[in-house]
Structure 1
Amino acid sequence: RGGPPVGDLDSRCFLLFYKQFAHCDHNIFTVAGRTCIEEGNSAQVLSIVLDEKNQEIVRCMGWNLLPPLIQVLLKKEDKNLPQCLAIFNHLLETCRPKELLIGLLEQLEQDDPDTIVESLHLLLKPLQKVLLCLGGRKASSLGMALSSVLDQVAKLPLPHTKEQEEDDVFSFCRCCTDMIDFVRPFVQEVRHNLLNNEMQKDELRTELLKFCMKSLSHPLLEVHLKDPDTLALSPLRTFATEILNILGSIGESIAGLVHQPLLKRKQVPGFLEEEVRYPKESLASLAHLVFVHHLAADTFPTVFSPVFSLRCNIEHELYEKSLVRVEDGSLRADLLEIKTFLTVPQNLIKVMTICPKHELRTKGLKVFQLSVDKFNTEAKYRFFQYMLKTSNHSGVEGYIIKNIKNQIDIALQVKMCIKGKNDSVGKSLYRSVSSQVTVTACVDLYRIMESLNLLRYLVIRDKVTENQTGIWTELYKIEDTFMKPLRVGVNMSRAHYERELQNTMEAKKSKAKESVLSVSVGGEELPSMTPESQIQALHSALHTFDMIESVLARIEELIEVKDNL
């Protein structure tokens, strides 16, 4: 009832040759053929698929035999390997390309890393052969194949150390080499068409561009390439170089891609939007390969200015690398009208203040200062004002105030005219500084000290008769809005802390268990401090109040002396 037995496959195929194929005939051929291969009767299947009278049914249904065949080929040590390889090769020559393509792509889908590697190595050449048989209709099929291949490669562990890459312990590098070999004839076809102006449609070129963009984001954005001094023959570096070569071969300018963020959006016909065609993470990876690893250096023009390159890479991970090439004090104020010149430093501030890793916070501070050094005087003036208004972090504000002091010192030393458009730099900056300082019950001592240090410096350094910074015309306002409230606030705080110190010392003597001082960070109260720690913290605060009062007294003394001159 279920049809002839498996052993009767040959006679059944002979009958099928002389009549129309019914659905049940397809099932019989598939089940019988697969069972024979699985049970080790590959020789019988080989004789049937090679028989001239069975070629029509093989052409139509032979691709259904791929799953058991490929399982044998992957095992390698199977005794039926030669027969199965012969069947496989005959199917590639005989079956219809579209059905072969589907069957081969289905067999690519694996989960085990070892099987993924072997499947890719076995099937990419056959896939390439099948795609080439599709002629001018292969673009979408190539795109589907490349997408499947990249999805499989993404499941493999990446080599991180020199030894892992050198020994290719995960066979990842082998897969990268196989992928480049796989796309090579299609790249050559696009290149030939471009050279001969025969590019009627760019679907094939588009699929290769998508492959390169995806490869740039994974794996190339995630691996750490070794320089030639570390690893002379680096497979991953070779893979990156090949990807850039492919981009050039299919008509993509490396310089144009690097500067893509500044170029006018292209109106590209078809379904690909600009952001999809050129993903940001892929462009960032490309810029890293060019500017850090110097790949494709022979094709990249050197006429672009460092400032232009900075504008292109400011949103990428290459901000520091691009800044280094820019001359100190050369970035103009009008660059701050470009949004990224303000948002990127704001992101650095987040790294400086929020990142849990000390080395990254230190690195963020270094790059932030580097960006400050590259602005000219007017740009620094505007940058400092903006950061004082938006940073919302007392430590950052104190650091900026310290920078303001240093910049004014430089300007005064070289007798520069430190004027803004309608106001003096010193006056406007100090007005910005003093407006940020509000003396309340919760005083930020670091910010207060930096503001006082700036004020003391200006009073000492700038003569009343010259008033280069404008500080002397602003002094009466600063005294009323900053110095007098500060002294009142310090006196109140001192009294409060002295009372707390006395209570703590008395509690310690009486061995009281209750803590008289609580400390909170970020709105969360920390565990109670020991009496010894409380006393130390209170003494430290009182010492800081002494310093503030000392600097205040010195400023008042200097003002009085200069007023009497």
Structure 2
Amino acid sequence: MPEEQSQTIMAVDELQAIVQRCQILEEADFKGEDFNLFQVAGQKCLEDGYAAQLLEVIQNEKNKVIIKNMGWNLISPLVRCIFMYKQEDDKREHCLKILDQLAELCNPKELFLSLLEQIEQTSGEQVCQTVMLLLQPLQTVLLKLQNKKAYSVGLSLAMIMNQLTPLPVPYTKQQIEEDKLGLCQCCNAVVDFAKPFVNELVKNMEKSSEYNDVELKEELLKFCMKSLKYPLLTAQLEQLEGIEEHPFRHFATEIVDILWDIKELIPLVFLRHRDRSPHWENQEFAEMEQKNSADSLACLSYLIFVQHLGIACFPVVFSPSYLLQCNMTHIEVLLKRTEESMLSKGLDLFESCLLRMEDDSLLHQYLEFRTFINVPQDLVKVMTLCPIEHLRKKSLNILQLFIDKFDAEGKYTLFRCLLKTSNHAGVEGYIIKNIKDQIHSSLTKACDNVWFTGHHLISLLDLVLMLPEGAETDLLQHSDRIMASLNLLRYLVIKDCESDNQTGVWTTLAKIERNFLKPLHVGLNMSKAHYEAEIKNKKENRKEAHSSNTVCSVTVGGEKMPAMTTEMQLQVLHSALFTFDLIESVLARVEELIEVKIKAVMDEHS
């Protein structure tokens, strides 16, 4: 007899011998040595391909008590062998049947701990496979537990989600279709695993209005909150062409449904300020819990108000401005993130809330809420710092939407705030163009708008028609703002007659000349002289080097440019001079218009 076959038969014989010895013992008489011998022999049978014999032992009615007490020991080797026998259908099938039998026959408490330990020990590419393999037996065991069921359900869901969280979330259509690690499939399997416990809670709540299994509800709520943060906060949830049922969209729908079923959906969306968390002694841990909760609630609002999941459950009594107010905290959370998936959710949620509103309908009092000031500032950061072009463009469009929704005083207050805080010439130029549009609207419409005429406007013009650092201002860096300011001043001079002086520009002209026009003249002369000298130096250096390929660096607009050849540097310097010429020509035109208007008035009076 070959040695290998002899060893295998020995393993099966050993198992039979241990089982026969234990059959005659009482349950209380089983010793630690019996457990160890049973585990070693059972593991040897599995590893050597004799799962069929092991299955027979487990199914034998005489061994019921033995399997109840010792079977849980086989979970770890059993899982290893199931993965090992992937290509050998018969052996794998026997192993899967053993797993089902153990779920039915073992001591639920011992098997529960063994299954959880197996999930906890898995890592990397095997996480989803292991979780999906053990979900059914774990569910079977949990449904048998009487004591501490809520705690055990919560522990299981928390352990599973903790194991899944390090895995990358598929984002593109191709990644979702491939589902390389099985995360899409696994998430939906976990929801199915939780459903019997949700149904149990709902059934008991329906039986009695006073019934409230607080512990089970809290555990299911924790699972939903974790799921909202991962994977749903990161996941792409738009419908994808060619994918009939988007796995993450399906998962999101199920999570929202659970929250509705356990009567937590509306409280989470509208009563978000209630203190649900225990008072943690560890401050750092408390802050982490608060941040996780903020991320989850932001994702939930996105699912409801952008993807319209569960929207049919909501009463239609809330005004668009109230919905915006409720969502501003969530929008702020999302816009502070740098990941594309989260930023785009924040922009979509903001846009969705604004599109529900009529223009000019948002009262200026809303700007007394902290978030209504913080969010546009975050939007400016996305516009100016985000490396993703389509998000920068979208944030600019949304800023304009936000401006359009406010009443006149709201627009005025917002403009003042953004001029003081944006620290970006392009954004300041954009705000100044908006101010010009509001002045035009005030001057051409019958309604009297006190915020963009008279003394209120003069106060705003003090912020607009000035140079941040006087004549020393870097004109190139601030060129967008300066051009917008000059265009606004030109418009005011043309549109507002000195005799009407609706805008107040004519009474404040001396201040405008002192704070803006004269320093701008001095700054232009200094800047042009500096850049012309730079050009002269570069040309002389080029002649000396006898080469236009010398690589060096140049500083423009306060920023050091990448290493460039002399020819490239000369192009940059000439471009700067062109900008100064452009500013100078508009400045000359504005001064000419002022002079003509003043002369016309003087002629009238003479």
TM-score range, shorter chain: 0.7 to 0.9
Structure 1 partner of 2:413: 382
1:185-214 deviations in Å (ceiling 9; x for gaps): 111111112222353431111111111122
Q: Does 1:303 align with 2:314?
A: no
Asked if 2 retains the 8 angstrom alpha-carbon contact of 1:503 and 1:516, the reply is no
Partners of 1:225 and 1:79 lie apart in 2 by 40
Partners of 1:257 and 1:205 lie apart in 2 by 14
Partners of 1:14 and 1:526 lie apart in 2 by 83
1:6-36 deviations in Å (ceiling 9; x for gaps): 6632344246548733333332232233223
Query: Residues 295-444 of structure 1: matches in 2 within 5 Å?
Result: 295-314=309-328, 315-316=330-331, 317=346, 318-420=349-451, 424-435=455-466, 437-441=468-472, 442-443=474-475, 444=478
Q: CA deviation at 1:219?
A: 2.1
Larger deviation, residues 331-340 vs 551-560:
551-560
| Amino acid corresponding to residue 411 of structure 2 in structure 1 | K
What's the secondary structure of 2:470's corresponding residue?
coil
Structure 2 partner of 1:179: 190
Structure 2 partner of 1:246: 258
Change (3 A) 1:241 1:415: same
Partners of 1:46 and 1:511 lie apart in 2 by 88
What's the secondary structure of 1:227's corresponding residue?
coil
Change (3 A) 1:87 1:17: farther
Asked if 2 retains the 8 angstrom alpha-carbon contact of 1:58 and 1:95, the reply is yes
Q: CA RMSD in A?
A: 3.4
1:142-189 deviations in Å (ceiling 9; x for gaps): 111112222344465645455665676654443233223211111111
Asked if 2 retains the 8 angstrom alpha-carbon contact of 1:519 and 1:525, the reply is yes
Larger deviation, residues 69-78 vs 456-465:
69-78
Q: CA deviation at 1:475?
A: 1.7
Asked if 1 retains the 8 angstrom alpha-carbon contact of 2:467 and 2:519, the reply is no
Change (3 A) 1:468 1:484: same
Partners of 2:72 and 2:27 lie apart in 1 by 21
Q: Does 1:457 align with 2:491?
A: yes
Asked if 2 retains the 8 angstrom alpha-carbon contact of 1:329 and 1:376, the reply is yes
Structure 2 partner of 1:197: 209
Structure 1: any 5+ residue segments left out of the alignment?
Answer: none
Q: CA deviation at 1:503?
A: 4.7
Partners of 1:204 and 1:273 lie apart in 2 by 22
1:411-451 deviations in Å (ceiling 9; x for gaps): 11114433249973321110121345433233333322222
Q: CA deviation at 1:279?
A: 1.5
Query: Residues 539-558 of structure 1: matches in 2 within 5 Å?
Result: 539-558=577-596
Asked if 1 retains the 8 angstrom alpha-carbon contact of 2:217 and 2:262, the reply is yes
Structure 2 partner of 1:524: 560
- Identical residues among aligned pairs (%): 42
Partners of 1:518 and 1:180 lie apart in 2 by 59
| Amino acid corresponding to residue 281 of structure 1 in structure 2 | D
Asked if 2 retains the 8 angstrom alpha-carbon contact of 1:388 and 1:400, the reply is yes
Of residues 135, 141, 144, the one that matches 1:133 is: 144
Partners of 1:55 and 1:225 lie apart in 2 by 49
Q: CA deviation at 1:498?
A: 4.2
Asked if 2 retains the 8 angstrom alpha-carbon contact of 1:124 and 1:182, the reply is yes
Q: CA deviation at 1:340?
A: 1.2
Query: Residues 59-208 of structure 1: matches in 2 within 5 Å?
Result: 59-74=68-83, 75=85, 77=88, 79-81=90-92, 84-85=95-96, 87-108=98-119, 109-111=121-123, 113=125, 115-135=126-146, 137-154=148-165, 158-162=169-173, 165=176, 171-195=182-206, 196-197=208-209, 199-208=211-220
1:232-260 deviations in Å (ceiling 9; x for gaps): 4434333222211111111113x443334
1:34-74 deviations in Å (ceiling 9; x for gaps): 22333344455445545566544432222112222333444
Structure 1 partner of 2:274: 265
Partners of 2:252 and 2:308 lie apart in 1 by 11
The two structures have a TM-score, normalised by structure 2, of 0.82
Asked if 2 retains the 8 angstrom alpha-carbon contact of 1:290 and 1:296, the reply is yes
Partners of 2:279 and 2:573 lie apart in 1 by 72
Q: CA deviation at 1:377?
A: 1.1
| Amino acid corresponding to residue 71 of structure 2 in structure 1 | G
Partners of 2:564 and 2:463 lie apart in 1 by 38
Partners of 2:488 and 2:309 lie apart in 1 by 47
Change (3 A) 1:557 1:511: farther
Asked if 2 retains the 8 angstrom alpha-carbon contact of 1:504 and 1:535, the reply is no
Figure out how many residues of one structure are paired with residues of the other and give that number. Answer: 558
Change (3 A) 1:398 1:112: closer
| Amino acid corresponding to residue 554 of structure 1 in structure 2 | E
Change (3 A) 1:506 1:467: same
| Amino acid corresponding to residue 226 of structure 2 in structure 1 | K
| Amino acid corresponding to residue 31 of structure 2 in structure 1 | A
Partners of 1:92 and 1:69 lie apart in 2 by 13
Asked if 1 retains the 8 angstrom alpha-carbon contact of 2:553 and 2:561, the reply is no
Structure 1 partner of 2:514: 480
The two structures have a TM-score, normalised by structure 1, of 0.87
Structure 1 partner of 2:236: 224
Partners of 2:248 and 2:565 lie apart in 1 by 54
Structure 1 partner of 2:571: 533
Change (3 A) 1:451 1:525: same
Structure 2: any 5+ residue segments left out of the alignment?
Answer: 1-12, 332-345
1:363-403 deviations in Å (ceiling 9; x for gaps): 22222222222222111111111111111222222222222
Q: CA deviation at 1:101?
A: 0.5
What's the secondary structure of 1:424's corresponding residue?
helix
1:267-309 deviations in Å (ceiling 9; x for gaps): 6679898965982222222222222222223212222222122
Partners of 2:514 and 2:291 lie apart in 1 by 59
Structure 2 partner of 1:279: 293
Partners of 1:221 and 1:308 lie apart in 2 by 24
Q: CA deviation at 1:484?
A: 2.4
Partners of 2:190 and 2:551 lie apart in 1 by 67
Change (3 A) 1:460 1:211: same
